[in-house]
Chains A and B, each alone.
Chain A
Amino acid sequence: MGEVAARHAEPSGGRSSRTNLPDRAWAVSLTVFGAAVLVVAGVIVGALWFVAAPAVKTLGLWNFVGSRQWDVTRDLYGALPFIYGTLVTSAVALIIALPVSVGLAVFLTEMAPARLRVVVSFPISLLAGIPSVVYGLWGLFVLVPLLRKPIEPWLARTHFPLFSGAPIGLGYLAAGVILAIMILPTITTISIEVLRTVPGSLREAALALGATRWEAIRIAVLPYSRAGIVGATILGLGRALGETMAVTMVIGNSPTISASLFAPGYSLPAVIANEFAEASGSLQTGALAALGLILFAVTLLLNVIARLLVRVSQKGPARVAA
């Protein structure tokens, strides 16, 4: 609509105030709406900081961020296990979801007949609509027993240090797998949209040079849509970092740091959800608010890194979906 208004305004040269007024009103209201988003974000950060600041001051910022101990009865608060758990589960989720999503998107846009695309993409977008508590329940009653019995003992036989320790089921791996399923529809649907913007001429050129179908995808389609796929991944990652309910139901909720993915852990949103309602004393409340700020910072930081990555690796035209 902005474009239409701009085109409309151009011939009159912008001098006539009669045509200019709606334009200006439009521009002002858009600015207000745009600014409102920033204001809301600012207010959230400000309010969190207001609650968190006294606690952070008492605990010391680096001591808070770097400490592994979370002991409410002794008023010892350290954020490290939660930061670690959030990063590890999100990483596991991405490692599983990214290849599957991109593969699925490539298959559906490049290879599958059009009718199949509709049939398959509908249930994928349906996955995005399932409430996270349902994912959590499914995780607790279906995924965790499966991990405990055949999957984790089987993985343990690889003697890979990531897969060691008792196969309890609940832990980083369970949370990561649940998150992978949850972010799969986000990455897949956006990747499909991105892949569909690849001009047919690129594909045809590659095929005309004697490339096989796979080579055409690899040298023409994927490089062109790389930026968009990274954007889709950022959106998926955002969901994984902030997911609360499903994670807290399967991660084991133990504020420890373990190298093994089988071990129980904890994540930033999970501890806030668990402890905030019954938090007693300003120090605990403050520490939890500070964890909220850290989650904010981690999300922001990963977004910036991902965007920089896009910029550095960019060869084709920029097309960031996010």
Chain B
Amino acid sequence: MTKLILALLIAFPAVAADTLSITGAGATFPAPLYSKWFSDYNKAHPEVQINYQAIGSGGGIKQITEKTVDFGASDAPMTEDEMKKAAGIQHIPTVMGAVVVVYNAPGVKNLKLTPETLALIFLGKITKWNDPALAKNNQGLPDTVISVAHRSDGSGTTSVFTDYLAKVSPEWKSGPGAGKSVSWPAGLGGKGNDGVTGIVKQTEGSIGYVELAYANENKLEMAELKNKDGHFVKPSLESVSEAAAKVEVPEDYRVSITDSSGSGAYPIAAFTYLLVYRDQADAAKGAALLKFISWAEHEGQKSAASLDYSPLPHALTKKVDATLRKMTVQGKPVLAAGK
């Protein structure tokens, strides 16, 4: 026992002196992957310890704007207003996520939805499962009332989902619109992915939306969606990655990739971002942070799929590499041209 205490006494100051502690805060959606990354990275580079608080995208943006953390994380890109308050901020996409439509209708397998029918259901205009509009692409639909479930808390998931609906349905755009929380014309609100899942699992005839990873984990029935090219696409890691393949990504990476073209592209996908300042003020931390991000874009991508996140397409990784090389610590670039 004494030996143990002695060992701890010796070990602790040593650790504290040599470890570089980087803190970040933000989105809850990528949090499971990020914590795996941080622990993997720490194993390879014991001198770097990264702490992450999954407080939500809004909180992440707020904290990186106030510079109380070294990096932020957000599912939705920052708005123009938010960008103005955080001059010199750079979005770095890490992985991609998808929002899937889950349902609980007796006897219905492989439900196929078109953008129009999806919007009409969530607008409360299609109220029965055996509606003729749904019957066009599906068979054996029951004569059950549809009950809609949506997120009640402000969330990036809702933002991506409503962004898609606003793109494909003029009525949705002029009605509820797109945002982290909107005024839903129909249905019940559940708090968090688990709240929506709870409603969908229990209510016969219900339909809702959750993150792909969450739906996989809970083995929920997922609908196939008709994409821009007219194909019905099942949500999967590959079909989500494909959604980013043909999108023209701008320098600041703030782009919506919902309803993108590509024959196998799943239409409700989005990037999740790290938010870092282009010029890092702290020499040691800044360099370590940039190196970590570069690691995440390459090594990190390999562990994404096992946790149900879609890795970035290769072309995009190259673009991110270029961006990272341009980033500086106290005015000097850190990452060499090689990597």
Contacts and interface: CB of A to CB of B under 8 A. Distances in A.
A70 B183 contact: yes
22 contacts: A71-B176, A71-B182, A73-B176, A73-B177, A74-B177, A76-B183, A140-B198, A148-B203, A249-B191, A252-B188, A253-B188, A253-B189, A264-B189, A270-B152, A277-B58, A277-B153, A278-B57, A278-B154, A278-B156, A278-B180, A279-B154, A280-B82
Contacts of B156: 278
B195 interface: yes
Interface in A40-68: none
**Overall SS of chain B's interface:** loop
Contacts of A242: none
A237 to B, nearest CB: 24
A269 interface: no
B189 A254 contact: yes
B219 to A, nearest CB: 17
A164 B242 CA distance: 48
Interface string A64-88: 0000011111101000000000000
A71 B178 CA distance: 11
A170 B199 contact: yes
Interface in A275-312: 275, 277-281
A274 B152 contact: yes
Interface residues of B, number: 34
Nearest to A70: B183
Contacts of B155: 278
B81 interface: yes
A255 interface: yes
Given A253-B191, A275-B154, 19 more contacts: A71-B176, A72-B154, A73-B183, A141-B202, A168-B203, A170-B199, A249-B191, A249-B195, A253-B188, A253-B189, A254-B184, A254-B187, A254-B188, A266-B189, A270-B152, A277-B55, A278-B58, A278-B59, A278-B156
5 shortest interchain CB distances as A-B pairs:
A253-B189, A278-B154, A253-B152, A71-B183, A73-B177
Interface of A: 69-74, 76, 140-141, 144-145, 148, 166, 168-170, 248-249, 252-255, 264, 266, 270, 273-275, 277-281
A140 B201 CA distance: 11
A72 B180 contact: yes
A73 B198 contact: no
B59 A277 contact: yes
B137 interface: no
A264 B188 contact: yes
Nearest to B81: A281
Given A253-B188, A280-B79, A275 B181 contact: yes
Contact of B198 (A141, A277, A279): A141
A148 B206 CA distance: 14
Contacts of B199: 170
Interface string B150-166: 00111110000000000
Contact of B154 (A69, A141, A277): A277
Contact of B182 (A73, A145, A252, A279): A73
B56 interface: yes
B313 interface: no
B81 A168 contact: no
A176 B57 CA distance: 33
A166 B145 contact: yes
Contact of A253 (B57, B59, B190, B198): B190
A280 B156 CA distance: 12
B149 to A, nearest CB: 9
A291 B237 CA distance: 41
Nearest to B189: A253
Interface string B56-95: 1111000000000000000000010110000000000000
B67 to A, nearest CB: 19
Nearest to A140: B198
Contacts of B184: 254
A137 to B, nearest CB: 9
A72 to B, nearest CB: 5
Given A277-B153, A278-B57, A280-B58, A255 B188 contact: no
A63 to B, nearest CB: 17
B153 A275 contact: yes
B54 to A, nearest CB: 11
A170 B189 CA distance: 10
A284 to B, nearest CB: 9
Contacts of B79: 280
B115 interface: no
Contacts of A72: 154, 179-183
